[in-house]
Amino acid sequence: MDRGPQSRDLVLIALAGVGLCAAASSLSAANGRPPEIFLPLSISGVAFVTSGYLVARQRPANRIGYLLMLIAAVPGFLVSLRYLVPATVPLNWSLSGVIPALLLAYVLLAFPSGKLTGTTDRVLLSAIAVFFTVFAVAVILTVEPSVHGSGNCPPCVANPVRVAGLSAFPVISTIGDVAIVASAVGVAALCLRRWYLARGAGRRLMAPVLFGGIVTAIGFITTSLATLTGGGLALTAQLLFMLQILVPIGLAVTFVRAYAARGAVAGAVVQLGASPNTEGLEVALRRAVGDPGLLVTRWSQVAGAYLDREGQRVALEELDVRRSATRLERDGQPLAAVIHDATLEVDPTLVKTLADSVRFAVDTTDLRDRLRASGGDASALPRGEVTFLFGDLEGSTEMLVALGDAYGQMLGEVRRIIRGAAERFGGHVVDVRADECFLAFASPSAAVECAVDIQRRLREAIWPAGGIPRLRIGLHFGTPELTADGYVGLDVHRAARVMSAGNGDQVLTSATVAMAVRGRLPEGLALLELGWFSLKGIPEPEFLYRVTGPGLASATPPRAASA
């Protein structure tokens, strides 16, 4: 097992701990009592180390965890160093505040991914880093601790590298305070902008951390302005240390919220029951994690792409930087993908819970469809008045010759579209085999809407050249007998013959369906009278109708001979 990330965590924790302990011992020895700065420094250090360790353990590749621990280690080491090597006091003055502040600014701008994703973020942080590097050098070359520290610089020794007069440091210090104000305003503004642009889950998870960063920035701004104006609102070093604790506290709140979201996801899956469908699962997951843009996509072998529940292609490589995709595989092959707010990756366990719930839904749906197709779910089929939907592919033999091995993939995609439509409109899959399908509905109007939905999705889907499926659908309403092996009776045969009378892309209905749905069809759909037709094996002629509306095929005479 790879223990690299754990080893790095332990090294950084030890580094921070040694720094804090060294600061404590040196300060206590110098003053003869616990110094006032030690308590807030210790609390701040423990908070940053703890939160940094949690982040690093959760996401070893994310640098935020390690930076949080460095924020705790740097002040302790520098405070200790100035007692162990008094000549380093100027170095302590120039770096003790600069390095932690730069690291904290990076953490805030890179949260939660650990990387700077915006050009403005990179430019601002680069400008701050360059300026304060120059500023640190200027402080080292101009400060005289025994003079500029007003005696508060134990132990004080002459600056061995000072090259400027004593009057230069106050000017450098003033420039530094102005830069602190500008930098803090810039970081706070970008934090506020990121929160404003985020949605749902992103806002909720980022808010505690960004709020802590904004409050800390306001603390630095207030102190620097007070110094520049000679006002009395300057915050003490102790208070500034305590304000910074809001960032790791915010991280802790974020983890608690992510933990609650994991429970909500699990609860949503339980509430969906033993037969979750993609649409219901998507809605439940959006509600559970607070991400209205969450998408559940299925891999289409035919289209060679991930498709949403509307059958539209989703290009995972072209997602906005604020969105992330978690891919699922089965036996090394693409299966599905969950597209969610990138902020959710702050908790990999939450993302894994999302992926597991989708995998469960996909596997359960596939198993249920196989059982239905084999007649293993006859007890759940509707009884009494039932509307049958029969469909088969026109020219399936020619497509098989043209597509070869790809025909099976195309057929699988057609079946998925049919099953998805059946779920949306309350239909029951009685049988799906070869290039045929057999569905049953308790509602005639739902059967018509399902047939129309199937045809529209087939027309809008992405298909290989020479393999565009043309499905003919027939509908009939009757009262068949339901046995342990499925439906039996003349109504079943009549529905199949109505289907056989049609051409590819058409939806034909019998007179019984037309009478049952008259006045109940959605706006835009209508029934066109075709007349009386003789159907093979049916003794009396049948009056047929064709469903018309947007997205349906144009008029083509039915195959059956007119009576």
What residue type is 562 in one-letter code?
S
Model confidence at 330, pLDDT cuts 50, 70, 90, reads confident
Q: Say yes or no to pLDDT of 83 above 80.
A: no
The contacts of residue 503 (CB under 8 Å, 6+ apart) are 394, 470, 472, 553, 556, 557, 558, 559
What residue type is 280 in one-letter code?
G
Query: Which strand (E) or helix (H) includes residue 72?
Result: helix 64-84
pTM of the model: 0.60
d(CA 442, CA 422): 12
| Gap between the terminal Cα atoms of the chain | 77
Q: Say yes or no to pLDDT of 350 above 50.
A: yes
As a whole-number percent, the residues of the chain with pLDDT over 70 amount to 79
Pairing of strands 471-478, 507-509: parallel
How far is residue 553 CA from its own chain's centroid?
38
Question: What is the number of H-type helices and E-type strands within the chain?
Answer: 18, 14
Model confidence at 1, pLDDT cuts 50, 70, 90, reads very low
CATH class of 374-548: alpha beta
d(CA 530, CA 509): 10
Q: Which of 68-82, 104-118, 182-196, 338-352 has the lowest mean pLDDT?
A: 68-82
Q: Say yes or no to pLDDT of 293 above 50.
A: yes
Structure-block tokens of residue 43? 């609390």
555: left (phi over 0), alpha (psi -120 to 50) or beta: beta
Q: Across the strands, what pairs with 339? A: 295, 325
For residue 55, what are the CA distances in angstroms to 6, 48, 51, 81, 112? 12, 10, 6, 28, 10
Tens digits of per-residue pLDDT, 226-236? 777 776 555 55
pLDDT of residue 304: 74
Tens digits of per-residue pLDDT, 362-408? 776 665 555 454 444 566 788 888 999 999 888 877 777 777 777 77
Determine contact, residues 241/44, Cβ cutoff 8 Å: yes
According to DSSP, residue 61 is labeled T
HSE, side-chain direction, 13 A CA sphere, residue 506: 23
pLDDT of residue 510: 92
Nearest partner of 507 among 390, 421, 380, judged by Cα: 390
d(CA 234, CA 406): 73
- The domain spans of the chain are 4-256, 276-367, 374-548
For residue 342, what are the CA distances in angstroms to 112, 125, 209, 520? 8, 22, 15, 44
549: left (phi over 0), alpha (psi -120 to 50) or beta: left
